[in-house]
Structure 1
């Protein structure tokens, strides 16, 4: 018999998930990083700094994804949609951990702005859930579309010899595309081109602030 969770229970669970997302090395992946099977390559200081900036952007993107899905799961109306959001959030944890591991290997750090982006994304996710499940799922699809564009661009910027970062991003790209497709298949309302352009403009704020800090 499935236990019915009160609003307080759900808020406590979300607070715990927020801490696991934001506290360094607190989250645990369910799968080994695809980078583990790739050879180590020496990068010069300029390359290492640039790759770290790209991976920091992707890590913050996963922080935002966690917050988005948790906010939507909190306010989703249909149990099936809530379960979809919770499953997607679980799958995104692997990406979060992989990016953090790679940043550690590069001698770098996650963004100090992550708590702010988490709070903003959680609020957007909760609002989308309140608006209705079809809009919530549509928001997921549109967000994943933006994430895929970022990852595709980053793949073109990686040094050819950096097989570890490439393996992580290629796996993430395939997963994110699947999340977007699943959201639309579950009844998500496709967003207009105008709305997607607005989301692109907003995402640039995140990428510019987290590349270095």
Structure 2
């Protein structure tokens, strides 16, 4: 039976097998680089949304709460990069502008479109983190625990966005697909550059 695309209960996922001789070891530098970049991008998306929405809309409080969690995630990945001597992605200036622009643009469409952006991004991040947890297995238990904790919070963000009307956005399937494709591209680039 195939594993579901996303899981709403990380504690129900089967344990990842440990690394075995002959298996490719996970690229920890790449994992840390891309995760730090993703959390940085998320903080910029929320900053863009809040710059447009301010506190005038009911979703602003929820977005502010998510932004605080993303800032905590970013802080932890910044610490891990420093501890392990990993350079951040060279694309960070691009993600700075692109993240803020994406957040602002979706918020300009509507508060529901801002939530659609969150739902799309967090759906992709759930898949991304799940893949990392499979790759890590028992190799890096502390890092895996951090990723699993953050993954659970990202799923909360996705679920909150959907509850706030993300799927009611005009053109939601197209908007979601475009944002998810952008996330996949950003992930692929940030791993290496």
Bin the TM-score by the shorter chain: 0.7 to 0.9
TM-score (norm 1): 0.71
Residue of structure 1 equivalent to 2:5: none
Say if 1:199 and 1:138 are closer, same or farther in 2 by CA, change over 3 A.
closer
- Equivalent residue for 2:181, pick from 177, 201, 213: 201
Deviation at 1:159, TM superposition (A): 4.9
Distance in 1 separating the partners of 2:175 and 2:64: 25
Distance in 2 separating the partners of 1:99 and 1:184: 27
5+ residue gaps, structure 1, are 1-45
Residue of structure 2 equivalent to 1:129: 107
5+ residue gaps, structure 2, are 1-23
Distance in 1 separating the partners of 2:178 and 2:165: 22
Q: Secondary structure at the match of 1:79?
A: coil
C-alpha distance after superposition, 1:70-116 (max 9, x if no partner): 11111127432222212211111111111122222322121121121
Residue of structure 2 equivalent to 1:111: 89
Distance in 2 separating the partners of 1:196 and 1:153: 21
Residue of structure 2 equivalent to 1:158: 136
Residue of structure 1 equivalent to 2:190: 210
Residue of structure 2 equivalent to 1:173: 151
CA RMSD of the aligned region, Å?
1.9
Deviation at 1:124, TM superposition (A): 1.0
Deviation at 1:51, TM superposition (A): 1.0
Q: Secondary structure at the match of 1:80?
A: coil
Residue 51 (structure 2) pairs with residue 74 (structure 1)? yes
Distance in 2 separating the partners of 1:94 and 1:203: 20
Deviation at 1:181, TM superposition (A): 0.8
Q: Secondary structure at the match of 2:58?
A: helix
Point out which structure has higher relative CO (alpha carbons under 8 A, 6+ apart).
Answer: 2
Residue of structure 2 equivalent to 1:11: none
TM-score (norm 2): 0.78
Residue of structure 2 equivalent to 1:39: none
